[in-house]
Amino acid sequence: MGRSHWVKRHGVWQNAYVAPVPLHFILTNRMNLILFAEPIAICKLRTESNPSTWQPQTPLFASIIDPHGRTLICMESATSGKAADILSQSSWRCFQIDAVMDFETVGVMAEFSGLLGKAEIPLMAVCSFETDYLLVQEQHLAESLRVFRAAGHQVQIQAAGSH
């Protein structure tokens, strides 16, 4: 089961059908990862801050609300000058799984988190409607790249400013 979504091609938004990646492909082939050029920050919005005034316009932005507060994940550059509003842990790097996955697809996050787990590399996982993201701390980036490549996965490093 695929799905239709909007993509920007040559500066024009178009509706496109994207077939999901079949599980047998994931388990038997290499997958592509995209490493974001810019570092990521994982932040907690201070309780006294107004969440509606803090919506960074960055290529990656997630807002997670739970009983402990609001967690924000965004490009590190978006946190500049926001110390009054957030507690921030910076120097995270983001790998995007370069595939559209159906909700019934299993094993993708297990493959990548398992590789990192065996190498004792901590991660934070974030999922979107279509794909998954793995965040690792900057000090684990080189080892993460080595682990993914050794398992046969390809990593494309995104050029700075290309979102």
Supply 133's token pair.
Answer: 């993201």
Q: Which residues of 45-66 are buried (b: 16+ CB within 10 A; e: fewer)?
A: beeeeeeeebebebebeeeeee
- What are the structural domains, with CATH classification, of the chain? 19-40+91-157 (3.30.2130.10)
Amino acid identity of residue 57, one-letter, is Q
Question: What's the pLDDT at 139?
Answer: 98
Which positions ≥6 away from 99 have C-beta within 8 Å? 21, 26, 31, 32, 108, 131
pTM: 0.77
What's the chain's Rg over C-alpha atoms?
17
Q: Tens place of pLDDT for every residue, the chain, 163 residues?
A: 444 444 445 555 555 555 555 555 555 568 899 999 999 999 888 777 766 666 667 777 888 888 888 888 988 888 877 777 788 889 999 999 998 887 777 788 888 999 999 999 999 999 888 889 999 999 999 999 999 999 999 999 986 655 5
Alpha-helical runs (H) found in 20-132? 23-28, 108-118
Q: Are 146 and 131 spatial neighbours (Cβ–Cβ below 8 Å)?
A: no
